[in-house]
Amino acid sequence: MNALKSDFKKYMAQTSDFLPFQIEVEKAEGIYVYDKLGKDYIDLMSGISVSNIGHRHPKVLTAVREQLEKYLHVMVYGEFVESPQIMLAKKLASLLPSTLNMSYFVNSGSEAIEGALKLARKFTQRTEIIAFKDAYHGSTMGALALLSNEEFKQAFRPLMPDVKILAFNNISNLDQISDRTACVVTEVIQAGRGIVPAENDFMMALRKKCNETGTLLIFDEIQTCYGRTGKLFAFEHYQVVPDILCIAKSMGGEMPLAAFIASDSIMQCLNGDHPLLGHATTFGGHPVSCAASLATLDVILDEKLIEKVEEKAGIFRKKLSGHPAIKEIRGKGLFMAIELTEPEKIEKIVENCINHGIITFWFLFNHQCLSIIPPLTITEKEINLSCERLIKALEMKN
Ligand SMILES: Cc1ncc(COP(=O)(O)O)c(C=O)c1O
């Protein structure tokens, strides 16, 4: 092991002992990550749904450089008038339904979920929170309380109380939403379960039940926003609009940024009896991240990336389906999972993928599937190359 890798082990808190992933990153560009030896890896994870317009998109770099020349941090969130934040909030409002017209910018997906939960409790003055089995909403104490998997949360108990977990896509369970429920939190497409989309009837029934009980509906689009599924936001695949929308990951154009978005009338309650502490965040909406986010939106819209998502997903499907190592390819747009016929080989296959220059991984709650979540900018030629490498990795002996 070289010196940097051993210092990585020695000085940085580790998240996993799985070794093949320890690529020593030299640079990243487009769909590629390069290591110290110059080997390229096609990023079929987009840094977990972050690099939707590829690594270091030139327009994002320009926007970042321009903002670097003006100012970095000047004040905690929401105190000074900073144009990158305002322009981004205005742009998001113009792209979202009229009831999602006010953004609160934060630093991470987990923080967006925390903010949304606090907003829902304060607005409704209720305590119960409902989430769904096999959802992942983040690692902070509130978000963690929404996890169904006891093994992930038992070491951290007691967690936020009054949380109920229901089965996803099960309409009959929705009668448990009542006038005690502050909010229901759900992903539109469950990522950690191996890309499982909500069914349309379920979404309609969920919205109806929330309306009947005065419960706020929160969508976690932390992985699915900014074009990933073939719509700018995944909820646009359904006839349903949430009361609060949480976005993160790709929204920062590879810079840290997240938001919870609601109507001005709901958001108003954070500015109540204790101004500032409805939710406070020092770096939320960092101007450089907001500038990067605006440039990312411009690239997605100007280059019509969303319009090409289905076609690109279709090429992946055509090239890979029918392969004996693949049982099923599912997902929406370029948010896909490949289910393996021999899931017990998945660790070896991920390792083979790294050897063949492909970055992919299994999912948090599903160790039978590999992720295919490439930058939306991937070209047909690059998709062909990705599939060639992937097939080699699937066919590699032992
Ligand atoms: C669906 C979903 N929600 C929330 C989060 C938490 O986001 P973050 O890691 O930025 O806190 C994640 C992270 O993977 C996620 O996939």
Report which protein residue has its CA nearest ligand 1's atom 4: 137
- Indicate whether residue 54 lines ligand 1 (CB < 6 A): no
According to CATH, the topology of domain 60-302 is: Aspartate Aminotransferase; domain 2 (3.40.640)
Please give, one letter per residue, the 3-state secondary structure of the chain: CCHHHHHHHHHCCCCCCCHHHCCCEEEEEECEEEECCCCEEEECCHHHHCCCCCECCHHHHHHHHHHHCCCCCCCCCCCCCCHHHHHHHHHHHHHCCCCCCEEEEECCHHHHHHHHHHHHHHHHCCCEEEEECCCCCCCCHHHHHCCCCHHHHHHHCCCCCCEEEECCCCHHHHHHCCCCEEEEEEECEECCCCCEECCHHHHHHHHHHHHHHCCEEEEEECCCCCCCCCCCCHHHHCCCCCCEEEECHHHHCCCCCEEEEECHHHHHHHHCCCCCCCCCCCCCCCHHHHHHHHHHHHHHHHCCCHHHHHHHHHHHHHHHCCCCCEEEEEEECCEEEEEECCHHHHHHHHHHHHHCCEECCCECCECCEEEECCCCCCCHHHHHHHHHHHHHHHHCCC
Cα of 70 to ligand 1 centre, how many Å?
31
Buried (b) or exposed (e) across 263-284, using 16+ Cβ within 10 A?
eeebbebbeeeeeeebbebeeb
Phi first, then psi, for residue 332 (nearest 5°) are: -130, 125
Q: Please tell us whether the domain made up of 3-52+305-395 is placed in CATH 3.90.1150.10.
A: yes
Give the Å distance between the CA of 38 and the centre of ligand 1.
31
What amino acid occupies position 192?
Answer: G
**Domain extent listing, the chain:** 3-52+305-395, 60-302
From first to last of its 398 residues, the chain has per-residue pLDDT tens of: 788 888 988 999 988 777 667 889 999 999 999 999 999 999 999 999 999 999 999 999 999 999 999 999 999 999 999 999 999 999 999 999 999 999 999 999 999 999 999 999 999 999 999 999 999 999 999 999 999 999 999 999 999 999 999 999 999 999 999 999 999 999 999 999 999 999 999 999 999 999 999 999 999 999 999 999 999 999 999 999 999 999 999 999 999 999 999 999 999 999 876 666 789 999 999 999 999 999 999 999 999 999 999 999 999 999 999 999 999 999 999 999 999 999 999 999 999 999 999 999 999 999 999 999 999 999 999 999 999 999 999 998 65
Cis preceding linkage at 158, omega within 30? yes
- What are the CB-based long-range contacts (under 8 Å, 24+) for 58-67? 59/295, 59/298, 59/299, 60/253, 60/254, 60/292, 60/295, 60/296, 60/299, 62/295, 63/253, 63/291, 63/292, 63/294, 63/295, 64/255, 64/288, 64/291, 64/292, 64/295, 66/291, 67/287, 67/288, 67/291
Ligand 1 atom with the shortest distance to the CA of 258: 10
Ligand 1: residue whose CA is nearest its atom 13:
138
Residue with tokens 């390069």: 34
Sheet with 181-187: list strands edge to edge.
102-106, 258-262, 244-247, 216-221, 181-187, 128-132, 163-166
- Residue 22: the pLDDT is 80
* Cα 137 to ligand 1 centroid, rounded to whole Å: 5
CA dist., res. 289 & res. 255, Å (int): 5
136 Cβ inside 6 Å of ligand 1: yes
